[in-house]
Chains A and B, each alone.
Chain A
């Protein structure tokens, strides 16, 4: 789907946020970008989204550059419009593409149900919990049926119970939607639980160090599965090596 080759990004002021980063994304991937803060994870995500341009290297899309709506983006904060209801927040991307409310609502309601928010269509962000707001944010990213879903530490601010539930639900949504996910996190546990490919990044300058493949089978007991524990251990060891 996308080939990122030897991309570099140098911010004014001399911060080398990325150097020589290469990565290939294929249809249906679930990639975690894992690394300590400041290693250029967000920068790489913004480059993929086209919100920022690289100083070096290139991003090559199979079949041409993405159109608006091909990419969904979820930030660390839910970043909802506080004056808009859940359904109007999810309607926003379709509205920006010129759809009328009436035409969009069936899709909007379907995606809200898919993230577990059936019945909360008319709620305002301030009436929802942090986890529910994040669900609205995910629904907003999914409503255009994107081919690529970019998520920047979306669950970092949530409590552990909510985070676990959202992680499991995200995997269901990913399987249902069949899109590619690039998920930024600084949690080894989260990366190991979610991703098929764990990409380890290191700071100063931001680099992609290595990649760990996962064959973890997901089910209700995954978090207690020795295979999960082994993957966490392997990832932690890899990260420690990379940071040497």
Chain B
């Protein structure tokens, strides 16, 4: 049972390789898995460096989104005025498609690295913000009453009740936003093209597609998918570990 996914994967790869060979599919249309692996082996350092560059943007964006998301959620939870002011903009930001605003951002922000981080942050922001806001509002009214009964100030209540209650919500937002930040970084790189940072994995994909180097393009795609999966599981595991330490899981 445990080996079923791996076995299925291997079988699919074998079928893929077999189909490509038997059907004599040209490599510039669909390379087989062996060709893809060879393309990776031909230039592992270059591809991994590109992956590193994309991940760097991803993590930078994730950190910025986390700081901004938490700060704005806290402001919103502390003040009605802030809530009225922030909420519509947060939603507007969320529903605006990144490819539509990425070119503007890339033009406005001079530095290509900063531009990519801004783009990825825009995509990663909302789940962190919305989840944290939900978590901050999650304590039952009785607990708020209890803090009031003991004369706790608003900030004391924030520190001792709302923020700790929001932690699990924040962590699940972080996991969602991790994947989104990666997508955001890739989309921004694609939009920026050669005018951008010119070193990320998405740029390698563009470059390979221009040169019809399909195996290399596939190698880059596979790396990206693996990075996304690892990011998701990694953030999930970190979240679980933190919750277990807090006695919440």
Residues of A within 8 A of B (CB): 46, 49-51, 68-69, 71, 73, 75, 77, 79, 81-83, 85, 92-93, 95-97, 124, 126, 144
Contacts and interface: CB of A to CB of B under 8 A. Distances in A.
B150 A69 contact: yes
B84 interface: no
Contacts of B143: 79, 81
Nearest to B246: A83
B148 A124 contact: no
Nearest to A71: B149
A144 B142 CA distance: 18
A19 B156 CA distance: 36
Interface residues of B, number: 19
Contacts, number: 49
A132 to B, nearest CB: 15
A8 to B, nearest CB: 21
Contact of B142 (A79, A82, A92): A79
A82 B150 contact: no
Contacts of A49: 145, 149
A50 B146 CA distance: 11
Contacts of A126: 247
B148 to A, nearest CB: 6
Contacts of B151: 68, 96-97
Interface of B: 140, 142-143, 145-152, 156, 160-161, 164, 167, 246-248
B142 A96 contact: no
13 contacts: A49-B145, A49-B149, A51-B149, A68-B149, A73-B145, A73-B146, A73-B149, A81-B143, A83-B164, A93-B150, A95-B160, A96-B147, A96-B156
Nearest to A126: B247
Given A71-B149, A83-B246, A126-B247, 13 more contacts: A51-B145, A68-B149, A68-B150, A69-B150, A73-B145, A73-B146, A77-B140, A77-B142, A79-B142, A79-B143, A82-B247, A82-B248, A95-B160
Given A77-B142, A81-B161, A96 B247 contact: no
Top 9 A-B residue pairs of the complex, sorted by shortest distance between their CB atoms = A68-B151, A124-B247, A96-B150, A75-B142, A79-B142, A83-B246, A96-B152, A68-B150, A93-B150
